[in-house]
A and B are shown apart, each in its own frame.
Chain A
Amino acid sequence: MTEPFPPTSAIPVPVGSHGSASGGSTLLGYIGIDTIIEQMRKKTMKAGFDFNIMVVGHSGLGKSTLLNTLFKSQVSRRNAGWPRDEKIPKTVEIKSVSHVIEEGGVKMKLTVVDTPGFGDQINNDNCWEPISKYINEQFEKFLKEEVNITRKKRIPDTRVHCCIYFIPPTGHSLRQLDIEFMKRLSHSVNIIPVIAKADTMTIEERQEFKQRVRKELETSGVEFYPQKEFDDDMEDKSDNDKIRETMPFAVVGSDKEYQVNGKRVLGRKTAWGIVEVENSNHCEFAKLRDFLIRSHLQDLKEVTHNIHYETYRAKRLNENGGLHPISSNGTQESNL
């Protein structure tokens, strides 16, 4: 959440007799419009907010570890009771786990959706279909709630706000499966590609690989988040351009701590050194975390709500002549 603006010099409005003569203030009058930000903040803090994140990638790419590292707590399903060496499922399953995380008085209900079995079979045709179906189901749920005659005050938001796609660090180029998946899903959900297990590659290899991946994504017409077409103004565009230049982020995840130079850091200890997760010379985890949580969390939700959800809604309402809203006591009304 952004810091509340301190009430600084408002434009002095001649309000007549209310001109205060207090010491340092140069205002003739103070209306208090800017306190709305404070009010919003208080409200959001009380209500808390939801964030749904989906991770996709074939097994062994460190998805669960990365999530744990991102949210600095055990949020993945692995720690919610599923054993580590589970057998690879025969079809893609969708498993979601919810946690409530609190920081500085702000409550966040984080839902992690995992997709075990993706890309693990010998024949991976259409393994993206269960995922696509799940995303559309969440949109459908929200749409049904919205279309109701008596709506709930706050519709529970289970729509997937962000999908992190893990690219295996082959060092050569994207695989056919990666391109197919991203092409098909970039229009219904925000996709953030990351290069998993980045400690496999040296710095030069990493740069080359990133360039190649970016070029391939461009030629295949995949628009990953932040999408170019949704930049609002020049400031947004320049910020997002900078981010797009460095995507996909090469990340390393770890939930173990080691001592380095007297500090305790999260890292991976190998025989030739310790890979520090939060060291920007070693990997881009810090960048991903800042991007995902500290600057673009709200934007992700907004893009999902304003663009992806609206596209789905328009499509749904245009087919079959529209949706019949069902009121809470079951009687049907005419078309919208």
Chain B
Amino acid sequence: MVQRQELGGLRGLANLPNQVYRKSVKRGFEFTLMVVGESGLGKSTLINSLFLTDLYSKDYPGPSQRIKKTVQVEQSKVLIKEGGVQLTLTIVDTPGFGDAVDNSNCWQPVINYIDSKCEDFLNAESRVNRRSMPDNRVHCCLYFIAPSGHGLKPLDIEFMKRLHDKVNVIPLIAKADTLTPEECQLFKKQIMKEIQEHKIKIYEFPDTEDDEDNKLIRKIKEKMPLAVVGSNVVIEVNGKKVRGRQYPWGVAEVENGEHCDFTVLRNMLIRTHMQNLKDVTNNVHYENYRSKKLAAVTCNGVDNSKVKGQLTKSPLAQMEEERREHVMKMKKMEAEMEQVFEMKVKEKKQKLKDSEAELERRHEQMKRNLEAQYKELEEKRRVFEEEKINWEAQQKILEQQKLDASKSVSQWLQRVFTCKFKFNFSPLTCCI
């Protein structure tokens, strides 16, 4: 017999939602939003306006300001705190989408990205150690439609057809201040008609039991696709400060429900349906992916792409495998470090060799200098020797001349004396 206990007061079960609330607030929330559209449709501005942050500011320009040749997928994370609740918002941008002349398969990088995130989650879910399971799956994809006023372009239709069963697609009409209200209505009708024609499954707002909520939801459904205008510039209108775009003919207010559907989008995305988007991603899109992936494995048992067979093994085998993986990782790291070390050693050797060569060269240079100087010196010495010889020769000649001169003088003197001797031999002259 189950004894029913009388609880004093209603502090018991009714408190459960509060407990859940407190726990999740502590954990914090994660949300991944993807924006897709041609460049120049105001995606970055809209993100800035939605979350009132400067995710793309002048110092860190958004992808659209940079020229891209192929479609890239870039993600940026931002942490938003409000009222004690913490949200890790990841924005995934796709610069280069639809910008080239030939845009075939420009949706492929996007599909690959979404699939890889689902695969990561699948792997994380299948591990034995599941303590930290980050949810990086794309919860919502905002698709920006250019405001031509006519209808969807072939590119739009192709993209949405390929992505509607992988992610929640919410189509938006970008730069809606281009259209007058009548044009906007016609355009929306045309788009919805084409979406139904091509059987594209955009995100459906679920019906709740609450009548009030249902009315709101029906209103939102009528306005699909939402026509949005983004701006972070604050302008003064009639004494009030509003965010908007200033034209010579008026101010288009972003948060005015009659001007555009921005407030509807913001409320729906953040205030009411964020959790639902995550749930649908988890229950529908992710499960689709998972069943497709696993069905492919079990039909094709010898399929050996990375981690598919894990669910059929026992936990022990799983642990064994994880240990092996870990060991392999360590080995790889070791090998890498060895490699790095080798490379450094080689570099150092090379540097030493280089400096050796340098020194060698300098030594050669100096030797040659020395030799040149020596030669110069030799040359000078030779010249000097020559001069000396010349000078000596000259001296000799001079001496010879002097000698000759003195010889002739002495000869003359001798003659004079002999004459004198011949004629007057006196004892005086003998003394000479």
Contacts and interface: CB of A to CB of B under 8 A. Distances in A.
Interface of A: 59-61, 85, 88, 120-125, 168-173, 175-177, 180, 197, 199-200, 202-203, 268-276, 279, 281-282
Contact of B40 (A171, A180, A276): A171
B41 A170 contact: yes
Nearest to A177: B101
B248 interface: yes
Given A85-B151, A177-B101, A270-B181, A202 B258 contact: no
A176 B245 contact: no
A59 B150 contact: yes
Question: Secondary structure at chain A's binding surface: helix, strand, loop or mixed?
Answer: loop
B248 A281 contact: yes
B259 A271 contact: yes
21 contacts: A85-B150, A85-B151, A85-B190, A88-B154, A122-B103, A122-B104, A122-B155, A123-B102, A171-B40, A172-B65, A175-B99, A176-B101, A200-B175, A203-B248, A271-B252, A272-B247, A272-B252, A273-B251, A276-B249, A279-B248, A282-B249
A300 B177 CA distance: 35
Interface in B200-246: 245-246
Interface string B164-196: 000000000001011011000000001000000
Contacts of A276: 249
Contacts of B252: 270-272
A180 B102 CA distance: 12
Interface string B93-118: 00000011111100000000000000
A174 to B, nearest CB: 10
A73 to B, nearest CB: 22
Nearest to B247: A202
4 tightest CB-CB pairs across the interface, nearest first? Answer: A60-B148, A170-B40, A273-B250, A273-B249
B162 to A, nearest CB: 12
B154 A120 contact: yes
A124 B247 contact: no
Contacts of B153: 59, 88, 120
Contact of B247 (A169, A176, A271, A273): A273
Given A60-B148, A273-B250, A281-B248, 9 more contacts: A120-B154, A122-B155, A124-B101, A176-B100, A200-B147, A270-B180, A270-B250, A271-B181, A282-B249
Contacts of A200: 147, 175, 177-178
A85 B187 CA distance: 11
B101 A61 contact: no
Interface string B37-58: 0111100000000000000000
Contact of B180 (A88, A171, A172, A269): A269
Question: Secondary structure at chain B's binding surface: helix, strand, loop or mixed?
Answer: loop
A282 B248 contact: yes
B32 interface: no
A122 B154 contact: yes
B39 A172 contact: yes
A125 B101 contact: yes
B281 interface: no
B35 interface: no
A125 B177 CA distance: 31
A274 B250 CA distance: 8
Contacts of B256: 271
Which of B146, B153, B246 is the most central at the interface, judged by chain A CB atoms within 10 Å of its CB?
B153
* Range of interface residues on B (Cβ < 8 Å): 35 or more
A105 B368 CA distance: 98
A268 B247 contact: no
Nearest to B246: A202
Which of A168, A170, A275 is the most central at the interface, judged by chain B CB atoms within 10 Å of its CB?
A170
A274 B102 CA distance: 38
A199 B177 CA distance: 8
Contacts of B40: 168-172
Nearest to A199: B178
Contacts of B102: 122-125
A122 B248 CA distance: 36
Nearest to A252: B178
A275 B246 CA distance: 13
A220 B144 CA distance: 30
B253 interface: yes
Contact of B258 (A180, A203, A271): A271
Contacts of A279: 248
A59 B148 contact: yes
A145 B103 CA distance: 42
A272 B246 CA distance: 10
B149 A123 contact: no
Given A123-B103, A175-B99, A275 B249 contact: yes
A273 B250 CA distance: 5
A273 B177 CA distance: 11
Nearest to A197: B178
B279 interface: no
B177 A270 contact: yes
A169 to B, nearest CB: 8
B158 interface: yes
Contacts of A169: 40
A146 to B, nearest CB: 36
A145 B22 CA distance: 87
Contacts of B150: 59-60, 85
A115 to B, nearest CB: 15
Given A200-B175, A202-B247, A180 B148 contact: no
Nearest to A275: B249
A123 B155 CA distance: 9
Nearest to B156: A122
B250 A272 contact: yes
A173 to B, nearest CB: 8
A211 B64 CA distance: 18
Given A272-B252, A273-B249, A123 B104 contact: yes
Interface in B61-104: 64-65, 67, 99-104
Contacts of A122: 102-104, 154-155, 158
Nearest to A65: B149
Contacts of A203: 247-248
